[in-house]
Amino acid sequence: MSLKIVILDGYCLNHGDLSWESFKEMGEVIIYERTPYHQIKERMGDASIMITNKCTIDKNIIDQLPNLKYVGVLATGYNNVDIPYAHQKGITVTNIPAYSTESVVQTVFGLITELYSGIGYHNASVKQGDWVRCKDFCYYRTGMHELYGKTIGIVGAGRIGLRVKDVAKAYGMEVLLYSKSKHAKEDGFRYASSLVDLYERADIISLNCPLDDKNANMIDAVALSHFKKSAIIINTARGGLIDEEALADALNQERIAGAGLDVLSNEPARDDNPLLTAKNVVITPHVAWATVEARARLMAIASNNLKEFLNGNPINCV
């Protein structure tokens, strides 16, 4: 009897531009684009291998799947899986570390560039005929600024935060980085003494830290009150880091200059999210991780995780 591998929600990883062949080499593979919670038990059946991105795998689901031996999460985050209960039941859970760093950093600076240069804004203006009707050889309808010499405050000193630092230095920016464990001056940049210190000094604040119980809504009205009026905030980490009502108010009242967001507190976005109609905010639909190169790395790591598990040498366990 061949190994049965069920991929519950493969669409976000693979729109058809990648191959599941590396999984198919290990057994029978059943692929679903999306699986609602109430269909997980039926679709898993007697399979022992589950591959999922965002399906909720809680105690109730685990108890309904007595054959389940392995959950491969197609992401770095794994808060959708009840890890302690999975461990209690002898189920191995793996994740995908460090596959999207370069793609996320690219999106950080894409959002910054749009807010500082208005490339998309001006492109849309040209396409609707404004340049054709213009009396001059050029026009600019939004304030454009240089990154050179600006101070970027980076919250989080992990892989992504440190790569944001590297790219910022290439732009000629001053770097101020906040870490819970590091405070000394380093070559070419400084660690902020506190978050308030970072907020008050930075022209651009980039959130590149995990979300936990201690930093949920860390960007609230009090934090925003320390921002420069000319500051922008970039969030490619987790939507829950920001109090969205407070940020929308600050944008609409022009207490800060702008925001670039790839994540929101509820995803997909809810139509009543105040940031969808706020002033000077650029929002992308959680795609910083999703370049074809990053997704190909994710696919390769995910299949290797399963291969090593089947060989009795599980890696990237959580």
State which amino acid sits at residue 229: K
Quote the pLDDT of residue 141: 83
Going by pLDDT thresholds of 50, 70 and 90, the confidence category of residue 184 is low
Instruction: Reply yes or no on whether the pLDDT at 187 is more than 90.
Output: no
Tell me: do 202 and 267 sit in the same domain.
yes
Quote the pLDDT of residue 1: 56
Q: Is 174 a catalytic residue?
A: no
Question: For residue range 16-71, what is the model confidence (pLDDT) as tens digits?
Answer: 999 999 999 999 999 999 999 999 999 999 999 999 999 999 999 999 999 999 99
Tell me: do 108 and 58 sit in the same domain.
no
Query: CB–CB of 195/178 below 8 Å?
Result: yes
Quote the pLDDT of residue 271: 96
Number of domains observed in the structure of the chain: 2
Structure tokens at 61: 């689901």
Tell me: do 254 and 124 sit in the same domain.
yes
Structure tokens at 41: 């038990």
Tell me: do 31 and 84 sit in the same domain.
yes
Asked if the structure places residue 279 within a domain, the reply is yes
Asked if the structure places residue 315 within a domain, the reply is no
Q: Which domain holds residue 58?
A: 4-99+292-310
Quote the pLDDT of residue 308: 98
The three-state secondary structure class of 72 is strand
Tell me: do 205 and 88 sit in the same domain.
no
**CA separation for the pair 70, 306 (Å, rounded):** 8
Tell me: do 115 and 247 sit in the same domain.
yes
Asked if the structure places residue 50 within a domain, the reply is yes
Tell me: do 42 and 59 sit in the same domain.
yes
Nearest residue to 6 via CA among 33, 16, 89, 17:
33
Tell me: do 95 and 146 sit in the same domain.
no
Instruction: Say which of 122, 163, 286, 295 is annotated catalytic.
Output: 286
Going by pLDDT thresholds of 50, 70 and 90, the confidence category of residue 113 is very high
Question: For residue range 202-237, what is the model confidence (pLDDT) as tens digits?
Answer: 999 999 999 988 999 999 999 999 999 999 999 999
Asked if the structure places residue 112 within a domain, the reply is yes
HSE, CB side, 13 Å, CA atoms: give it for residue 268. 2
**Section 139-147 average pLDDT:** 90
Going by pLDDT thresholds of 50, 70 and 90, the confidence category of residue 2 is confident
State which amino acid sits at residue 78: Y
Asked if the structure places residue 318 within a domain, the reply is no
Of the candidate ranges 135-144, 176-185, 225-234, the one whose mean pLDDT is the lowest: 176-185
Asked if the structure places residue 192 within a domain, the reply is yes
Quote the pLDDT of residue 54: 96
Instruction: Say which of 122, 163, 174, 238 is annotated catalytic.
Output: 238
Tell me: do 275 and 297 sit in the same domain.
no
* E strands present in the chain: 4-7, 28-31, 49-52, 70-73, 92-94, 151-155, 174-178, 190-191, 204-207, 232-235, 258-261, 281-283
3-state helix, strand, coil in the chain (%, to 5): 35, 15, 50
Question: For residue range 3-19, what is the model confidence (pLDDT) as tens digits?
Answer: 999 999 999 999 999 99
Tell me: do 214 and 138 sit in the same domain.
yes
State which amino acid sits at residue 187: D
Tell me: do 123 and 257 sit in the same domain.
yes
- CATH classification of the domain holding 95: 3.40.50.720
Tell me: do 174 and 301 sit in the same domain.
no
Q: What is the pTM of this model?
A: 0.93
Asked if the structure places residue 316 within a domain, the reply is no
Asked if the structure places residue 126 within a domain, the reply is yes
Which position has the token pair 């029978």? 28
**Section 178-205 average pLDDT:** 87
How confident is the prediction for the chain on average, in pLDDT? 96
Quote the pLDDT of residue 126: 96
Length of the chain: 318
State which amino acid sits at residue 15: H
Q: Give me the torsion for CA of 180, 184, 188, 192, rounded to 10°.
A: 50
Q: Is 286 a catalytic residue?
A: yes
Instruction: Say which of 25, 33, 267, 293 is annotated catalytic.
Output: 267
Nearest residue to 14 via CA among 297, 238, 261:
297
Structure tokens at 170: 């290439």
